Structures are given as structure tokens and as C-alpha cells.
Amino acid sequence: MKIRINRNHLRFRLRQHDVTALSENGSIIERIEFGETTDQQFSFSLENSDNENMSIAYNNNKVQVIVPKNVLDTWINTDQVGIAADLTTDFDRTISVLIEKDFACLELGEEDNIGTYTNPLADCRPSNL
């Protein structure tokens, strides 16, 4: 899972194996490990829930994005590219969250694109005839 942060915008890009793990386990987590104990780690997780609405929380060095299970299931099992929402925190701040399937980069080699989704623009590239 790739995570990009820009001010109050949070973007998650998931490769195929990440989407499979999220589907099978109901959650996926990415950690930065400054040390061995959990209080020395910073993590981001995507988790499914029976809640009606998407939400975000921050506790104990962990950012949790909670997504309704039916929204995740639709995204996982269709060609839908992303899920976007503006979420309000407990401190009345808005954080824009975007969760996307990670497409292959057209400029990178095959090895760098392992596990990505086929880029829909790949068929639009000019051929060298």
C-alpha cells in the first residue's frame, strides 16, 4: 500500500495483493517502524465496518480509515477505480481521503509494476510502426 500525504489530503494506492488482503482480512495496515514496540511505530490502516458512513480516527500513533463494507465490496469487485470522501475528525477538521487501485506506470519497466492493475491508458499509446 502506498500512502501520500499533502496537507489534509490522504491518498492510498493499493496493488492487487493489497486489495486481496483487504478483501480477505477486512483490513490492511502499513507501518513505519522507528523501534520494536508499538509506541515506536506509526501506522495507517484501512478497515471495513458495518457503519453506514466512512470515518477517520487517530489514536496511539495510528490513523484508521473506516470504510463501510458494502462500499469496499463494490470497489473491490468492480472496475471502480477509487473511493473518495471528505471526513470530519473528532477535532472538527476535514481530511480528504482517496483510496485507489494502483495502475501500472507507463514509463516504468515490468519489474517496477509488479502487482499493479493494468493501466487503461496502455492501449492508447502510439505504436512504433
- Comparing 114 with 62, which gets the higher pLDDT? 62
82 pLDDT band, cuts 50/70/90, is very high
C-alpha cell at 114: 509488479
State the SS3 of the chain. CEEEEECCEEEEEECHHHHHHHHHHCEEEEEEECCCCHHHEEEEEEEEECCCCCEEEEECCEEEEEEEHHHHHHHHHCCCCEEEEEEECCCCCEEEEEEEECECCCCCCCHHHCCCECCHHHHHCCCCC
The pLDDT assigned to 128 comes to 43
**Residue spans per domain, the chain:** 2-124
User: What average pLDDT does the structure give for the chain?
Assistant: 86
The pLDDT assigned to 126 comes to 43
User: Does the pTM of the predicted model rise above 0.75?
Assistant: yes
Q: What does the pLDDT look like over 15-67, one tens digit per residue?
A: 899 999 999 999 999 999 999 998 899 999 999 999 999 999 999 999 999 99
Topology given in CATH for the domain delimited by 2-124: Gyrase A; domain 2 (3.30.1360)
